Structure 1
Amino acid sequence: MKKNRVIGVLACLSLSVLLVGCGQQKKSDKLVIWSNMEVEADTIKEYGEKWSKETGYEIEIVHETPDVQQFVQATNSASGPDAVIGIANDQLANYVTAGLVSEVPQELFQDSDYVEAAVEACYVDGKRYAAPLAVETVTLFYNTDKVPSAPVTWEELLQVASEQGGIQFEATSIYYDLGFVRAFDSYIFPYKDGEYDVNDLGLGNKGAVNAYEFIQSLAGEYGFLSANVTSDIAKSNFQNGETAFYIGGPWDVDGFTSAGTPFAVAPMPSLNNNNFVTPVGTQVSFVSKKSKKQDRAWDFIMYLMEKGAIDLYNVGARIPANISLQQMEEIQSDEISKAFVEQINQGEPLPTVSELGQVWTPYTNNMKAMLNGEIDAATAASNIEKQIKEGIELMNSGR
């Protein structure tokens, strides 16, 4: 998942591409697909054309970045979408809660064929509502002029960083801090049997306090971080050779390459004898509950997932969620992609629940206060827990 929020504006109809199959008898009603993937738009169009030729059905693919309200309005019209492909999984729960999404047919695909984190991202309240298309996460970048090989533990990383310019990332965001929280045996909301227990918040317990103390040490004891270090600042400092390490995603690779930054990518080092669990973003696809062509919509979604994976990877560096497709030569021969695949397979999704929306601001505000020395880790944990619970209670009171 990339951390950017999916905030849409209605695309004009001139952006849509009508793809008409030939060679078979045409059906009078066309399948309408909204695609949230911009860089890959032409590739998706090509696969729409191929699918149309093979099935004889018309398909219209519209590049769209929808929100729930816009989707509701569109599905109430005669030309509304039958399905959405490539939407960030952290938006899925909002559509499901609004009653807009059909469950995935049980026989459509086997969960075991896909990365565990991607599968989790498709479930809401124990039911599967989406199919996983592609996955992404953040991991460790290191300057190869400063660091000869990637550290395998945080102890090693800190020793090298102390000598070679430090490490930076946006330490005030739970997106980047999840690995610290999980390494000290805590969590946001626990996941079991396809469901998150939103009544069990783990960001205020003892494990969370230990995680915050570790993050605080990166600012205080080591002097690597401050409350003012954003992702852009951390990226710029790494790109300019000022820091030895950086935590970032595949979206950073082109910039470093273009700038001539000497870098390599590796899985995150372990911490507290635990894997460093990073958030896995999954681009998922779902079918509208109002669609009269649900079987057809799922057929195209699976067609794109199975046959279009390598082209989506080549065009947009979209790593497929399918485990076997991750073993393709094109991916395994690329050291950067290979490192991201390894990290993805030890990651997990951010919870696919609407309550997650109440986590971001309290977490960030209190981590900033902690890194500024205004509060300690225990107070930050207490505040985070209290404020998130208050936000959830207020959110639920309006339902």
Structure 2
Amino acid sequence: MKVTRRTVLSATALAAATTLALTACGSGSEPAASSAAKPSSSAPASDATLSVWVDSNRAPVLKEAAAEFTASSGVKVDLVIKDFGKIQEDFLRQVPSGKGPDITIGAHDWLGNLVKNGVVQPVELGDKVNDFQEVTIDAMSYDGKVYGVPYSTENLALLRNTELADKAPESFDDMVKAGKDSGAKYPFLVQVGTEGDPFHMYPFQMSFGTPVFGQNAEGGYDPSKLELGNAGGEKFATWLAKQGKAGLFNTNIDADIAKEKFNAGESPFFITGPWNVEDAQKAGIKLAVDPIPSAGGEPAAPFVGVQGFFVSSKTENLLAASEFLTNYIGTEAVQTKLYEAGKRPPANKAAFEAASQDELVSSFGQVAADGVPMPNIPEMNAVWEFWGVAEADIITGKAKDPVKRWNDMAKQVESAISK
């Protein structure tokens, strides 16, 4: 799945709308999770059938794994190919009526919405939890419980045209200087767009010590601990205004333009994800992947997106579903094949180690290890609504007082979360 701010916004807006719709259909006295039927824990019959939703890119790999699982267990697997962008909506609508699948592919940032609506259940990984990269388990966890089996990571890093810049920049200022010294038209490129792009700005924001949310005792995001308005956020807003005035961040540069200009050799640096690597290589760009340089002194940690598989709270084949996920989908062999299909760093440690023979994959994975999972709590919906617009106002100079505009945004988010 191509991760852009547009993807994030559409997913979170859809999640919010669906949550409201489901709440309206319920009694209103208890959350949907409290009334979810408990699945059977008895051993599955050999003639049982698992229904699994998967997107077209991953379907060939799952077809092979499903055949092996059926041959071993006698349990049939019915693969249903779905448009990834519609899976969350369909899953939320169908599971409560008992018509949904036993297992679905999905993104980790859906998790809070899925849990709140009672449509998924925890997955018991046992000792196999150690088979996966820590950031992927963190992403698939909610309220201290693991709800999915991860298979890949996806995150921003710094693509470098090695013919224009022979080494990784050590800081944001170093990147700008190297970019200007290269003689290229743009010192660096990053998509911003007219509505702002907090997903792509987040590494720089984090380098000023400003996450979106603080954490609870279990290590998850705590919506009561909004960090956007802290002192680091004010420094980030001031810095952002300065970069906008200097023309280094430009709301006229959207995803397509940034990609086009980099692939044309008009900049040595491009802050983007693995989804743009193949086209850059086809354009003849000799690439290296580096960490995003810090602007504020602290590490420029990007959001990490994790994809995996969830188990329906209504499944009548829990043991079969768990067996298929943990002993097939979660294995090194299958996750290696999923990597070969999607070119995203595997969640399974051994599979990642094998994939790391590709230097670009290894580098993206190393950046992910230092990143932070995109918040999977429903309250994140309120953040996206105000966040990007505020950044765009600051970059363009529409906001005459960047600190005030930033703090007003933080207050808007806090008010929306408290409703």
Q: TM-score, normalised by structure 2?
A: 0.83
In structure 1, how many angstroms separate the alpha carbons of the residues matched to 2:89 and 2:104? 14
Bigger mean CA offset, 285-294 vs 187-196:
187-196
Q: Which of 96, 116, 120 is equivalent to 2:138?
A: 120
Matched-pair contact (CA < 8 Å) for 1:125–1:196: no
Task: State yes or no: 1:216 paired with 2:235.
Answer: no
Q: Which of 136, 145, 154 is equivalent to 2:154?
A: 136
Residue type at the aligned position of 2:405: A
Change (3 A) 1:63 1:194: farther
Matched-pair contact (CA < 8 Å) for 2:136–2:347: yes
Q: Which of 219, 223, 231 is equivalent to 1:206?
A: 231
- 1:104-144 per-residue CA deviation (whole Å, 9 max, x = no partner) reads 2252632x432222112111223222221111111001222
Higher helix share: 2
Report the counterpart of residue 181 of structure 1 in structure 2.
205
Task: State yes or no: 1:146 paired with 2:164.
Answer: yes
Q: What displacement does 1:60 show? A: 0.4
- 1:364-383 per-residue CA deviation (whole Å, 9 max, x = no partner) reads 11111111111132022112
In structure 2, how many angstroms separate the alpha carbons of the residues matched to 1:78 and 1:153? 53
Matched-pair contact (CA < 8 Å) for 2:191–2:197: yes
Paired residue secondary structure (1:50): helix
Task: State yes or no: 1:168 paired with 2:189.
Answer: yes
In structure 2, how many angstroms separate the alpha carbons of the residues matched to 1:114 and 1:69? 28
In structure 2, how many angstroms separate the alpha carbons of the residues matched to 1:141 and 1:312? 23
Q: Which of 384, 393, 397 is equivalent to 1:373?
A: 397
In structure 1, how many angstroms separate the alpha carbons of the residues matched to 2:294 and 2:88? 38
Paired residue secondary structure (1:247): strand
Q: CA RMSD in A?
A: 2.2
Paired residue secondary structure (2:104): strand
In structure 1, how many angstroms separate the alpha carbons of the residues matched to 2:389 and 2:148? 33
Residues 229-244 of structure 1 mapped to structure 2, 5 A cutoff = 229-244=253-268
In structure 1, how many angstroms separate the alpha carbons of the residues matched to 2:92 and 2:174? 51
Task: State yes or no: 1:96 paired with 2:109.
Answer: no
Residues 205-284 of structure 1 mapped to structure 2, 5 A cutoff = 205-221=230-246, 223-284=247-308
Q: TM-score, normalised by structure 1?
A: 0.87
Report the counterpart of residue 391 of structure 1 in structure 2.
416
Matched-pair contact (CA < 8 Å) for 1:32–1:79: no
In structure 1, how many angstroms separate the alpha carbons of the residues matched to 2:117 and 2:233? 32
Residue type at the aligned position of 2:63: K
Residue type at the aligned position of 1:83: I
In structure 2, how many angstroms separate the alpha carbons of the residues matched to 1:292 and 1:141? 46
In structure 1, how many angstroms separate the alpha carbons of the residues matched to 2:233 and 2:152? 30
Bigger mean CA offset, 122-131 vs 92-101:
122-131
Unpaired runs of 5+ in structure 1? Answer: 9-24, 395-399
Residues 319-358 of structure 1 mapped to structure 2, 5 A cutoff = 319-328=345-354, 331-358=355-382
Bigger mean CA offset, 75-84 vs 207-216:
75-84
Report the counterpart of residue 305 of structure 1 in structure 2.
330
Report the counterpart of residue 83 of structure 1 in structure 2.
103
Residue type at the aligned position of 1:259: A
Q: Which of 144, 153, 156 is equivalent to 2:174?
A: 156
Question: How many residues are treated as equivalent by the alignment?
Answer: 372
Change (3 A) 1:191 1:238: same
In structure 2, how many angstroms separate the alpha carbons of the residues matched to 1:89 and 1:104? 14
In structure 2, how many angstroms separate the alpha carbons of the residues matched to 1:117 and 1:231? 26
